[in-house]
Amino acid sequence: MAPVTSALITGISGQDGSYLAELLIGKGYDLHGLVRDPAADHPNLAGMAGNLTLHEGDLRDEESLRSVISAAGPDEVYNLAAFSSVGRSWDEADAVEDANAVGVERLLRAVEELRPSARLFQASSSTMFGSEAPVPQNEDTPVDPGSPYARAKARAHALVGEARARGMHASAGILFNHESPRRGPEFVTRKITRAVAAIKLGDQSGLQLGSLDARRDWGFAGDYVKAMWLMLQRADPVDLVIGSGASHSVGDFVDAAFAYAGLDPADHVSLDPDYVRPAEIAELRADPSRAREELGWTATTGFEELVAMMVEADLEELG
């Protein structure tokens, strides 16, 4: 019988971490997760309790990382923990740098010293490309980060490349926007779908947004974690763009969400310039051709299906 593969997921209780946990549990992994408080309620992990081990730790605390790696002995490490809000990063730049850049440096160091044979996946971000990037963006697009969040992600991405040059099996997925019913309510997509559900149920009358023009390459998080796993099954580490290859505007997302609920957005949506983020990127759209060639991976959940899934989940939750 082949030995069981052990994996450690940081940020396991978040959107991506929980979908990846489901995937790895289904593949029979010995699964470990890093959380700040193992005793807390983790709704995204409901039903998985008997199939994984949670460890207390934080990317900002290197000793906790070393302790978890020693205890779990992972063959694969997926770093999905991060300060995730681009908008809030302007007000909390030091915290973002500590978690999203220095935290990755701490993790790489701990894995390299304690589990040098382990393969590591880092969740990089398409925001690294910046507002002047050509469209679409691929692995060769220059990095030009325009926010504290993007700058920290760019530094972490470079650290992964340096670790790979030292001989570590370290890969980075440059992830374009990916959503699900598990997306946090502070993100614009979930803000929209929750508002639509609340309006449909008579609990809310309107929705305020900053702009409807920004275009993003939106996919389903459950598809994207499959690409993460496939990247660590390769003999050689690699950095790859992970996205759908299609972009839609915030306005498109609004229209699709309201249409699914049988509502007219013109009756409910208003614009407030206070919600506009500094240095907003006009369009992010992936060229995922290398991921298709290298991994045989493509996004399988379409835009309309994704929006419907999120609205339906919010109608069920709020209703």
Spatial distance between the Cα atoms of 106 and 102, rounded to a whole number of angstroms: 6
pLDDT (0 to 100) of residue 3 = 77
Angle, alpha carbons 124-127-133 (nearest 5°) = 120
pLDDT (0 to 100) of residue 319 = 92
pTM, entire model: 0.97
Spatial distance between the Cα atoms of 81 and 104, rounded to a whole number of angstroms: 9
pLDDT (0 to 100) of residue 83 = 85
- Other CB atoms within a 10 A radius of the CB of residue 111 amount to 25
pLDDT along the chain (319 residues), means of 10: 87 98 98 96 94 97 98 98 82 91 98 98 97 96 95 98 98 98 96 98 96 96 98 98 98 98 98 84 97 98 98 97
Spatial distance between the Cα atoms of 201 and 58, rounded to a whole number of angstroms: 39
